[in-house]
């Protein structure tokens, strides 16, 4: 039955829990397989000032379009994975280290309960503390798979090590992350800094350009990337920066870049990327102020998260790849 916005748990105001699941703010109460956590934090914005801090609430609102049954999989996802929404991290605007600490602690507690965290950002900086917390639990060697237009490999931005310009650099510096288990899909365009290209090659990161996706297809590329980040089946961390998707489909973001993945490509990419499960997942960089009135960007973001949940459900009921044409 489609979810009605009127009869679902509310986190605050008119903001519902993701997909109308149980709202569980007390983390010691979690009895779930998946915990949604909002990280309404943004630091510097390097192009235009659209905030990403309202993304968790907007994406939750549009998530009510989607119910547990998914035609593509012919499956009731929420029958196989118990999902709860833990609400948002209590961030301190302007204090990045403290806000990141609070996120790390929340993710630590979520994992202690046995649930896998799915984080709704925030800008891309928040992926670093999330991966840090998840990798500490999942241990060495951890894999990292990213869909992004940009390589995000800056050492710092005006001496700040913790901004949206540096998450990939910070993540690969973590002891648990193996350079040979890092792949980035969808890089393109003139907003990548020139020094990032020699750096990723020197580090040995696997980068699939947007052109490679065009030529080889998202399914071939993502299958290969999954073998790199998860050669032994160990679940990787998966991050989706919404700017990997063409602004025709996802205009609500700060550093938008014409060209890029279609909605269909990112949906299929995330399904394949999640075939071995994941130890953590995030969706970042949605800027509701730059979205169009229909909410197309937040809706796509919600759909991507729904598909990630479906992938986990499929692992539990023997339906991996059920969405594919047989
Ligand atoms: Mn990014």
All structural domains of the chain with their residue ranges: 5-316
Question: Ligand 1 centroid vs 293 CA: distance in angstroms?
Answer: 24
Predicted local distance difference test score (pLDDT) of residue 177? 96
The Cα 188–Cα 80 span in angstroms is 37
Name the residues around ion ligand 1, CB cutoff 5 A.
124, 148, 150, 152, 241
Question: Ligand 1 centroid vs 304 CA: distance in angstroms?
Answer: 16
Q: How many CB atoms within 10 Å of residue 72?
A: 13
Kindly list the distances between the CA atom of residue 202 and the CA atoms of 48, 125, 195, 271, in Å, as whole numbers in the listed order. 31, 23, 11, 30
The Cα 71–Cα 289 span in angstroms is 31
The Cα 226–Cα 72 span in angstroms is 22
Question: Which long-range contacts does 14-17 make (Cβ < 8 Å, 24+ apart)?
Answer: 14/61, 15/57, 15/60, 15/61, 16/60, 16/61, 16/63, 16/64, 17/60, 17/84, 17/85
The Cα 265–Cα 74 span in angstroms is 20
Question: Ligand 1 centroid vs 316 CA: distance in angstroms?
Answer: 31
Pairing outcome for strands 280-284 and 116-121: parallel
Question: Ligand 1 centroid vs 312 CA: distance in angstroms?
Answer: 24
Predicted local distance difference test score (pLDDT) of residue 1? 55
Question: Ligand 1 centroid vs 124 CA: distance in angstroms?
Answer: 5
Predicted local distance difference test score (pLDDT) of residue 5? 72
> Do residues 122 and 40 lie in contact, with contact meaning Cβ atoms separated by under 8 Å?
yes
Q: Which two tokens stand for residue 161?
A: 């090590």
Predicted local distance difference test score (pLDDT) of residue 222? 98
| CATH class label, 5-316 | alpha beta
Mean pLDDT by 10 residues, the chain (326 residues): 75 93 90 97 82 96 96 97 97 95 97 97 96 96 97 92 93 95 97 95 96 98 98 98 98 94 98 98 97 97 98 97 93
Q: If we measure between CA atoms, which residue out of 318, 303, 230, 234 comes closest to residue 271?
A: 303
The Cα 254–Cα 79 span in angstroms is 36
The Cα 136–Cα 167 span in angstroms is 17
Predicted local distance difference test score (pLDDT) of residue 50? 76
Question: Ligand 1 centroid vs 284 CA: distance in angstroms?
Answer: 8
Provide φ and ψ at 139, rounded to 5°. Answer: 80, 175
């Amino acid at each position: 039955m489609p979810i009605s916005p009127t009869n679902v748990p509310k986190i605050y105001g008119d903001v519902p829990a993701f997909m109308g699941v149980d709202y569980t703010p007390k983390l010691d109460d979690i009895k779930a397989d998946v915990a949604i956590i909002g990280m309404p934090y943004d630091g510097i914005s390097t192009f235009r000032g659209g905030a990403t801090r309202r993304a968790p609430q907007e994406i939750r609102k549009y998530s009510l379009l989607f119910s547990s049954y998914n035609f593509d999989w012919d499956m009731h996802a929420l029958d196989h994975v118990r999902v709860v929404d833990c609400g948002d991290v209590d961030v301190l605007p302007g204090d990045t280290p403290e806000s990141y600490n609070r996120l790390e602690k929340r993710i630590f507690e979520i994992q202690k309960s046995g649930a896998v965290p799915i984080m709704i950002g925030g800008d891309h900086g928040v992926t670093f503390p999330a991966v840090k917390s998840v990798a500490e639990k999942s241990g060495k060697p951890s894999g990292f798979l990213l869909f992004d237009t940009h390589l995000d490999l800056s050492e710092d931005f005006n001496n700040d090590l913790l901004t949206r310009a540096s998450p990939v650099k910070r993540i690969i510096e973590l002891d648990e992350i193996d350079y040979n288990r890092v792949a980035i899909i969808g890089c393109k365009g003139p907003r990548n800094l020139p020094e990032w290209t020699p750096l990723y090659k020197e580090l040995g990161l696997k980068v699939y350009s947007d052109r490679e996706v065009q030529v080889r297809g998202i399914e071939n590329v993502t299958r290969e990337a999954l073998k790199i980040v998860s050669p032994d089946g160990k679940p990787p961390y998966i991050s989706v920066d919404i700017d990997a998707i063409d602004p025709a489909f996802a205009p609500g973001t700060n550093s938008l870049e014409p060209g890029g993945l279609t909605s269909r490509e990112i949906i299929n990419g995330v399904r394949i990327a999640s075939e071995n499960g994941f130890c953590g997942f995030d969706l970042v960089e949605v800027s509701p102020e730059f979205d169009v009135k229909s909410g197309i960007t937040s809706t796509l973001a919600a759909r991507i998260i729904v598909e990630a949940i479906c992938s986990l459900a499929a692992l539990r009921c023997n339906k991996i790849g059920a969405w594919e044409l047989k």
